[in-house]
Structure 1
Amino acid sequence: MTTSIAGQRILGIDPGLQTTGFGVIDAHGSRLQYVASGVIDTTHHARGDLPLRLKTLYEGIREIHRRYQPDVASLEIVFINVNPQASLMLGQARGCCLTALVSCDLAVAEYTALQMKQAITGHGRAAKSQIQEMVRRLLNLPNAPRQDAADALGLAITHAHASPSMNKLSAQGALKRKTHGMFRAGRSH
């Protein structure tokens, strides 16, 4: 539910298997307004119960969508960690989040942590505390949000700043999706 014709409501998601952060903002041009933030916590489930944790993430994102009615979503692109097992688990959590967003018919923009940090703090090696403080300032919050929620709000803010430029490039055809190497009817072409 967009609050004005010129604005859009953006849902940011910072995926994690134990804790997934979410943040919702309204963007009206360069003016940003905080709507909500928090986490989807799966730590109450047994550590080895991956299916139940993924189900919790999926249902949590769908509930956030129902409650806040965002127009678009912004999701963090995760990179491989040193531990292959941890990377696999995080990738499954991210895939679950992406599936939940798409099942809500949301367009999903994807940004790396580096892109988000550069957009929020001005440099890509910002500490978590710096992101929390800049998100607090940019959204005029009384207190800094917890880390996962701050990262999710940072992703939403990043999209609010990047989407006008991306929309202009898309309108000019510069961002047309390439079809070579894509799968069609189970075959690569």
Structure 2
Amino acid sequence: MRILGIDPGYAIVGFGAVDYERNQFTTLQYGAITTRSHTVFEDRLEEIYTDMTQLLDTVRPDAVAIETLFYTTNQKTVIAVAEARGVILLCAKLARVPIFEYTPLQVKQSVSGYGRAPKKQVQEMTRRILRLPEVPKPDDTADALAMAICHGYSFRSRQYGIAQTRRQQMGYY
């Protein structure tokens, strides 16, 4: 199964593409879509749309794993992130890629075994699981790869894979 993990944002959208077969991950590609800070917000959303559409077309994932929206204090920032996240979800929907959402707690639990693990610990476990020489930068990229790992390990991922195999066997693909 090819998984594209996404850490949504409007300044930086982290992404990480992995293949997950027989409990083993193969890292395909990772990085970040970045927008300039003094650009009109709508233009930033258009840039995210264009780059995400191209990324989906290049990677051709079987699933997109994205972080659920989470905020603590700054409502203005959360609204902007929600708008960027909506653009990302639209791109995945238009590409006909199933979308799976995970909370930060679920990702930490899945990657490190502890739902309250510090960010550095999750990043180091992500590096180890994917056998990377160093923790990917920026942090949003490492977070996106952790999101992809979470999906690979998730029950929903396995159930989706079983259903997809059944559909192929029945000639729906």
TM over 0.5: yes
**Who is 1:101 aligned against?**
92
**Who is 2:11 aligned against?**
18
1:19 Cα offset (Å): 0.4
Q: Does 1:73 align with 2:74?
A: no
Instruction: Structure 2: give runs of 5+ residues left out of the alignment.
Output: 165-173
Note the 1:50-129 alignment, pairs <5 A.
Answer: 50-129=41-120
SS of the residue 1:23 aligns to:
strand
Greater percentage in helix: 2
- What code does the residue aligned with 1:136 have? R
**Who is 1:158 aligned against?**
150
Q: In the TM superposition, what whole-angstrom CA distance separates every residue of 1:54-92 from its partner, at most 9, and x where no partner exists?
A: 111111111111221111110110123312111111111
* Rg larger in structure: 1
**Who is 1:37 aligned against?**
30
When the two chains are superposed, the root-mean-square deviation of aligned CA atoms in Å is: 1.9
**Who is 1:28 aligned against?**
21
SS of the residue 1:136 aligns to:
helix
1:29 Cα offset (Å): 2.3
How many aligned positions are there?
162
Q: In the TM superposition, what whole-angstrom CA distance separates every residue of 1:116-146 from its partner, at most 9, and x where no partner exists?
A: 0110011122222212211110011111112
Q: In the TM superposition, what whole-angstrom CA distance separates every residue of 1:26-72 from its partner, at most 9, and x where no partner exists?
A: 01021111111000001x2525x110111111111111112211111
1:93 Cα offset (Å): 1.2
CA–CA distance in structure 2, aligned partners of residues 19 and 63 of structure 1: 16
Higher relative contact order (CA 8 A, sep 6+): 2
TM-score (norm 2): 0.87
Determine if contact 2:45/2:87 at 8 Å carries over to the other structure.
Answer: yes
